[in-house]
Structure 1
């Protein structure tokens, strides 16, 4: 398992033990020395790069011993190859459950998991408020130039810091939300409190009847939303349907002086198209703020990192203490329900 941060990790381990499971803890991302020592004193541990497909597969095989379940909190590469190796008949235990203490699972091969009998459980909505809060913060930063002005002052340039004043604000903006899930709804509630008008383009399930209870106006098409809003914020999962949803054509539809915020998935908004649009005053949004990238982690790389018109954030939208604690509680409940509903034996032999 990849434990939660801080004391949440110890609470998770205790709860897993109560469920009759025997956790092996990957301490690679446990940076607190004292916490790591406490975990290593009481639990079996390993230390490997969970984002490496080969290392992940090798540790799940565990020299032929295998694992019944995996609990993670990040987008590990649970590919077809990894799943096949983790469910091989030669293993003493085969993988039957993967739980991620987060809402998304786009790095998991769901088709392969279903074929191989591996259940996937996540915690949708657990971080909705956290993501919504950072989304609004990024909107304000893009509109008001907060980080740009702070950097200019640090460089000793008052004249640069006061450029492009006065600015727009949420109070006089129409905010368009792409997506109609829990995060989008919470964003709608927050920006309405600032005085913004809200438009929403949702999935086919977001019918006119469902939209009645929403704090926003339902629009029929993405094009209508892009062309009609001052701020556009993306809140859809990474799927085949949303891959490249916002590209060059869609960016060109956006209003002059508009802002785009992406705290969803990088695959939804093409990085290169956004970079080019921001650099062209005649095309697309005026400013952007992005929390998710094609290449993340220690090898982070993005054309947007050097774009002066884009605020960048290290995929941190859902990382508040309360959100991660809630996700931990929910994924433990999912494990408990799974154990009650299946024939997976409880007892000290489980790993």
Structure 2
């Protein structure tokens, strides 16, 4: 009987010293980690990881490299852990589950909320369970969302830049300004992050409107710190600040495009800390440059091309604040996501039995939370 232990490929461990805690927890589950050190910058930490676990160094965002390391010369891995949006495509999944591997991929976990770079349909077909950690970074994302709102409304970054240029006149231009205390904030989405944003802006004195998924019924909305709107158009036209909090799905792609942006009131602000596909950058760029319609200012934390290959038409837009997809990246949020993922792994591994068993071929993933237009 095959007693080969379960192997886990850790594409990117938790940051800093939390990597050691995470890897020890995975080991305690009976997994044998192989750790990719590509995103571990500290030489001392790299050495400590390599002294205890098998270590490799490859580009986890490259499909061919990712698939090759999952196959590992035929030995294969039953489990994959990541925290970035790696390209877990159909081709990668098929190579990681092909016949002939000693261990075929059974379980994938991402210590983050999204799975939009995973082919979930292929994972289900191939019997690969998918786990993410929705809600683990809700507080962190909500904090940055509100910070971006305040920066847009109060012009903190713009005034700082003017003073550094030596221009007091430019720094005090457009004063007084609107604050959250006299703003109506519209939230597109009704998940944990949107709920936390609602609580925070209400503390400032803002009025809150919410447009959620079909599951955001009047009954569910009754306990919310905000008013439920029936349509997205109503929210866009009626709010001073619009903040987007929906996942990237087929239903939400282009949800707020050129036509929807034209509905926003003069002087309004749009904040996107969800996914770039929800608010296409080209449409937002054009709307911001059009004084006759669309939002006056935008703050964006998510882009179609991120990382070293970052590129966006918004990069030279004078009416937009940019943030490098950092909303959920606080130490506490990433530590919580790591802990939640280890707990999810423990549950799945307990359900599938010992490594010599044959886990059921059913892929499981978090349900998407789309919204109605």
Same fold judged by TM-score > 0.5? yes
The offset of 1:155, in angstroms, is: 2.0
2:334 to 324, 327, 344: 324
Distance in 2 between residues matched to 1:343 and 1:96, nearest whole Å: 12
2:225 maps to 215
Distance in 2 between residues matched to 1:282 and 1:149, nearest whole Å: 25
The offset of 1:98, in angstroms, is: 0.2
1:295 maps to 305
Distance in 2 between residues matched to 1:310 and 1:67, nearest whole Å: 43
Q: Could you tell which deviates more after superposition, 300-309 or 221-230?
A: 300-309
Distance in 2 between residues matched to 1:197 and 1:186, nearest whole Å: 14
What do you get for the CA RMSD once the two structures are aligned?
A: 1.1
Distance in 2 between residues matched to 1:54 and 1:161, nearest whole Å: 50
- Aligned pairs (5 A) from 1:137-176: 137-176=147-186
2:114 maps to 104
Q: Could you list the runs of 5+ residues in structure 1 that have no partner in the other structure?
A: 347-351
* 1:226 lines up with 2:236 in the alignment: yes
Change in Cα spacing, 1:344 to 1:49, as seen in structure 2 (3 Å) is farther
Q: Could you tell which deviates more after superposition, 27-36 or 264-273?
A: 27-36
2:360 maps to none
Q: C-alpha deviations, 1:185-217, integer Å up to 9, x for none?
A: 000000000000000000000000110000000
Distance in 2 between residues matched to 1:142 and 1:36, nearest whole Å: 40
* 1:193 lines up with 2:234 in the alignment: no
* 1:23 lines up with 2:43 in the alignment: no
* 1:33 lines up with 2:43 in the alignment: yes
* 1:85 lines up with 2:103 in the alignment: no
Distance in 2 between residues matched to 1:129 and 1:224, nearest whole Å: 27
Distance in 1 between residues matched to 2:59 and 2:172, nearest whole Å: 45
* 1:275 lines up with 2:285 in the alignment: yes
- Structure 1's consecutive aligned runs of 4 or more residues displaced over 3 angstroms after TM superposition are none
- Aligned pairs (5 A) from 1:306-321: 306-321=316-331
Distance in 1 between residues matched to 2:61 and 2:168, nearest whole Å: 43
Distance in 1 between residues matched to 2:354 and 2:187, nearest whole Å: 42
1:50 maps to 60
The offset of 1:55, in angstroms, is: 1.1
The offset of 1:86, in angstroms, is: 0.5
Distance in 1 between residues matched to 2:98 and 2:156, nearest whole Å: 53
Q: Could you tell which deviates more after superposition, 58-67 or 245-254?
A: 58-67
Distance in 1 between residues matched to 2:264 and 2:43, nearest whole Å: 48
Distance in 1 between residues matched to 2:107 and 2:94, nearest whole Å: 13
The offset of 1:16, in angstroms, is: 1.0
Q: Could you list the runs of 5+ residues in structure 2 that have no partner in the other structure?
A: 1-9, 357-373
Distance in 1 between residues matched to 2:15 and 2:157, nearest whole Å: 28
* 1:342 lines up with 2:352 in the alignment: yes
The offset of 1:344, in angstroms, is: 4.6
Distance in 1 between residues matched to 2:103 and 2:31, nearest whole Å: 13
Q: C-alpha deviations, 1:271-304, integer Å up to 9, x for none?
A: 0110011111111000000000000000100011
Distance in 2 between residues matched to 1:53 and 1:159, nearest whole Å: 52
Distance in 1 between residues matched to 2:128 and 2:331, nearest whole Å: 29
Distance in 1 between residues matched to 2:102 and 2:167, nearest whole Å: 65
Distance in 2 between residues matched to 1:160 and 1:57, nearest whole Å: 53
Q: SS at the partner of 2:187?
A: strand
Distance in 1 between residues matched to 2:173 and 2:38, nearest whole Å: 44
The offset of 1:70, in angstroms, is: 0.3
